[in-house]
Amino acid sequence: MAELDVAELASDLIRIDTTNRGGGDCRERPAAEYVAERLGEVGIEVRLLESAPGRTNAVARIAGSDPDRPGLLVHGHLDVVPADPAGWSVHPFSGEIRDGVLWGRGAVDMKNMVAMTLSVVRSWAQAGHRPRRDIVLAFTADEEDTGRYGAGYLADGHPDLFEGCTEGISESGGYTFHVDGRRLYPIGAAERGTAWLTLTARGTAGHGSKPNRDNAVAALADAVHRIAGYQWPVRLTPTVRAALTRMGEALGVEVDTDRPDLDVDAVLEQLGPARRLVESTVRNSANPTMLSAGYKVNVIPGEATGQVDGRVLPGTEEEFEKTITELVGPRVDWQYYHREVPLSAPVDSPTFASMSAALRAEDPDAHVVPYCMGGGTDAKQFSRLGILGYGFAPLKLPPEFDYGALFHGVDERVPVSALEFGVRVLDRFLTDVA
C-alpha cells in the first residue's frame, strides 16, 4: 500500500534543512535531489531545473491513459520558513516520529503533501498503474518568499513542461476542520492577491533638538497609523458566498448571501469556530509589518520607509490601490514591493466534485465546503499559464489539532494517520479525476 512509506518520506524531507530566509537565502537542491532519487527508483524521469545556485526545482510528467483529456498539475514547495530550535519541544529538523505523530518544520507546510504525492505515484509505478489524465509533478523552490526562483521561474522560463495542464492542486485545503462535532473539509477555490507595499516618506533632515515640521518619521508614522486603523468594506466574492452558504448548511445556520441587508459579521458570529475559514476573506486587508528610519537618536533623518502586507480579493485591485493612496496621504509615496494576482476557480467543476467524492469515500461524514485562502500559494505563478488552482492537500485531523496555528508555528507536527488518510484520498482523486 502507498501509505506505508509516507511517514518515512516526510521524515526524510524534514531532515533536509531548506530554510528560506528571503532575499535569495535558501538552498532547496538537496531536497530536489531526494525527490528525483525516490522517483527515479521506480522509473519516473525527473528534470532538475536550477534558477540560481542551489535554488532547484524538480519536474516530472506521468502519462495518462487518455491523451485527449487535459493534464493536471500537482505542485508542492520544498522550502520552509525559519524555525528557532530553542522554542521547540523537538528539534525542528529532526523529522522525529513520536507516539504516532511526525514533528518538524514542513510537517504541514508542506513537505507532508510532497511526501503524500511521492507515495501515490511511486505505488502507481510499482503496480504499473496509469491515471486517466497526464499528471505533471512540480516540486518548487522559493514559495515561502516571492516564488521568483521556483514557480515563477518555471512558469516564465519553462512553460512547455506544463503543456496541456488546465488545473492544478497544491496546499491549504482538504483538511479536517472540527465544529460542534461535525467535520468540515474546506477546499481552496480562490486566493486573495498579494500586495506587499513599500511606503517612503521624505522630509528635511536636521538636529533632533530643533523644531521640524517636515519630519519624515512623523509622516510615515501617521500613514501607518491610518492604514492600521482602516476598516475595509465587505466585498463578497462568488467563492466566499458559496463558502458561507455551504458552511451554514453544514452547521444548521441560515445564510442568505443575497439579502441586501446582510450583516456578514453577525453571520460569522453564528458560524462559531468555522468563521476562521472565511473571516479574513470577506474584506481586503493591509497590515503594517516593518519600519526603518534614522541612524542616531539626535538626528532627524531625511527619509523613512515602511512595509505593508496587503491582500486583495478578486475584482478589487483598483479599489485597493485607490484606498491606499488616500490613506498614505500626500506626504508619503508607495509602490509594490511584490505583487501577485488574486485567483478564483469554479466550485461547481467536475474537478471540485472529484475532490469532494474522494474525501467522502474515506470519511462518509465529511462536509466538503469551498473557501478562499487568505494568503497565497504557487498557484498564482502557474495561473500565468492558464492553470486554475485548487487547494487540496487532504488530511484527517483529530479535534485537538489546531491546523491553522501550526502553519509557520512552533512545534509543527502532523499525525502519521493523517498522512496515510491523505495518501488514500489523493490516490482516489488522482486516479479518477474527470
Q: What per-residue confidence (pLDDT) applies to 434?
A: 59
Contact call for residues 183 and 369 (beta carbons, < 8 A): no
**Same domain assignment for residues 150 and 197:** no
Q: What per-residue confidence (pLDDT) applies to 3?
A: 55
**Same domain assignment for residues 252 and 222:** yes
Contact call for residues 293 and 205 (beta carbons, < 8 A): no
**Same domain assignment for residues 309 and 199:** yes
**Same domain assignment for residues 331 and 410:** no
Owning domain of residue 228: 193-340
**Same domain assignment for residues 160 and 228:** no
Position 355 in a domain: no
**Same domain assignment for residues 161 and 234:** no
Q: How far apart are CA 241 and CA 247, in angstroms?
A: 10
Position 66 in a domain: yes
Whole-structure pTM value: 0.92
Which residues lie across from 339 on neighbouring strands?
Answer: 195
**Same domain assignment for residues 294 and 168:** no
**Same domain assignment for residues 420 and 381:** yes
Angle between helices 111-127 and 6-15 (to 10 degrees): 130
Residues of the chain with pLDDT below 70 are 1-4, 434
Q: Residue 328: left if φ>0, alpha if ψ -120 to 50, beta else—which one?
A: alpha
Domain end position, chosen among 287, 314, 340: 340
Q: What per-residue confidence (pLDDT) applies to 4?
A: 62
Give me the sheet containing 193-202, strands edge to edge. 285-293, 303-312, 193-202, 332-340
**Same domain assignment for residues 428 and 308:** no
Q: Residues 284-307: pLDDT tens digits? A: 999 999 999 999 999 999 999 999
Residue 152 cell numbers, joined: 515563477
Provide the CATH number for the domain around residue 162: 3.40.630.10
Q: What per-residue confidence (pLDDT) applies to 406?
A: 86
Phi first, then psi: what are they for 285, rounded to 5°? -150, 155
**What is the domain count for the chain?**
2
Position 39 in a domain: yes
Q: Residues 307-366: pLDDT tens digits? A: 999 999 999 999 999 999 999 999 999 999 999 999 999 999 999 999 999 999 999 999
Contact call for residues 350 and 226 (beta carbons, < 8 A): no
**Does a cis peptide bond (omega within 30 degrees of 0) precede residue 116?**
no
Provide the CATH number for the domain around residue 226: 3.30.70.360
**Same domain assignment for residues 322 and 404:** no
**Same domain assignment for residues 117 and 265:** no
Q: What per-residue confidence (pLDDT) applies to 202?
A: 97
